[in-house]
Structure 1
Amino acid sequence: MRRIASHAAPTQGNSVSGSILFADAEAFARQVCDSVLGATFTPDGVDFRAAIRFNLVGCSGAAHLRITPGVLTRLGRPCDGPCGGPHFLVLVLRENGHLTVGESGRPLSPNSVVVVSGDLGFSLALSAGTAGACELDVLQVAGAEPPALAKASGVVVATSAALADYILGLADLVQPEGGEIGPCQRDIPIFDYIGAAIRDYLAGGEGEDASRPDHGLYQRIKGFIAQNVKNPALGADLLARTFAISKRKLYSIFYDNRASLHETVMTARLEAARREIEAGGQKVASVILDHGFSNPSTFYRNYKRHFGRVPRA
């Protein structure tokens, strides 16, 4: 992932973000592959479609791709930009794929989290999902390398829906819909959290929930979220005020309990909405608005991701 993109718009501080649709593979290669991903992409067919939203924060970055099947290839390279030093990439797949590193290849199942040392080249073949497209998140975390990578030839693969959801929940905080960075980036070191979560997972430091710091407070916050899913203001500001803690502390509590605040709120709203929809008696459009979703397309996309199907009354 690189630091310069001609189509990107500056946001806050030293960050750059964008959100673009493509129907031309050459334009995608020219504007995105090299300048944002530091990679090449070879589509499987001639009917090319791609959508990307991304945010680059210093030498770290998060990019979400929805793209036709093909092969993403990246040569190992030093970290771009003034920071230099070690870095690693995180690839999160929602569909099947196949990873090739050197002479070694392995199949990937949905919810695979691939962690690759930044100086290591690889090819990733993406398979189409149910909608005919592939969903892939690519994150670059600069300034660190998970210790376990040194024992695994520079690449490890974990198949964990919980880890995938946690990472994507944090990534969404810096590159949400529209490509505009949210205020939380000023409050929490998101890429540090992603790196720490991966290091903990690779080290096997899962432990028992009850032994984690602030577990009781974490459970009370989750209970409050479940009881207030219809409150459009439900989020970090409201929760921090309600429990008399800072937003930094709030995010830290969720991190310590291997969870994402964003994903917890989203899941609670989706599950409550599903119960009302399946109970009948109310239009789906009304349920969507009642449960804090101002954008129906966001609701339908996340509902299908969470439940594997579109809502049915």
Structure 2
Amino acid sequence: MRYLVTGGAGYIGSHVVLALLDAGHEVVVIDNFITGHRDAIPKDVEQHDVDLLDYHATSNVLAKKRWDGVLHFAALSLVGESIEKPFHYLRNNYQASLNLIQLCSKYAVEKFVFSSTAALFGGPDRCEAISETASIQPASPYGESKYMVECILRWADKIYGLKSTCLRYFNAAGADPFNRAGEDHSPETHLIPLTIDAALGRRPPLQLFGLDYPTPDGTCIRDYVHVTDIAEAHIRALECLNEKSTAFNLGNGRGYSNLEVIQSVERVSGRRVPWEPAMRRLGDPAVLVADSSRIKRETGWSPRFDTLDKIVETAFAWRAKHPYGYDK
């Protein structure tokens, strides 16, 4: 099959590109390389330096070939920044996706897999695992922008027959177990790489945002799902995406607190993690844990990296081997 991957130079997109190649598919990447890394894309993969906000440039790419499906990862993705720049996030994520989905309808693409987010459910504090039927209450413009794209896809199916799967990741983490790809953001905001870098002495003490949440140790609880398991879920979603559009929550189904992440990094690295308390961040709910029973039931997907230590081991191996990340 031939698949177009937008944002294929990013963290999750690059791992999905590897999974598609490993499965024997042809892959073409669109990325504007503002946050993505050229070195994250295998050298023999066709790539286009295109911003999805440019409708005509995007159209030129889609018009050149017949596509068996499109996988859409390109987006701005920082919750805190989205609160500081709400209109920037809403415009970019909505308009870029609208352009892409409109062109998929124009060029008769039949399958579309969307990189959505658990930030859809970021409203009130919850203790139970979140299923697909939970109320959608985004607590940030980032989460709202992803929900807006899900709405576009619903209408693209109703009117044009474009079948889609929205994969609502919880906390993507880890790195390719063969060390071919890893996590490299600038600035880095994700807890596991920040904790690893603090343990390795590459940054000042880790800041824990909030010690007064209604959780057993007072820190936020998150469901960490390995990026390779996320990539496998995309393969399963494509294989099962035939008659109806759907959405799946994607996580391990178990939450770990911020302090437990620190303890895991200390176990894996054999090093102490220096840290200090900090104020809560806007938009951070106390608990986000996925009920992933639906995707397991309907596609057979199940995470292979099912403990925090397994996830941290791959992240630590990649960051230890790539102290300066990509492109450096």
> Whose RCO is larger (CA < 8 A, sep 6+)?
2
Q: Return the TM-score normalized by structure 1.
A: 0.27
- TM-score by length of structure 2 reads 0.26
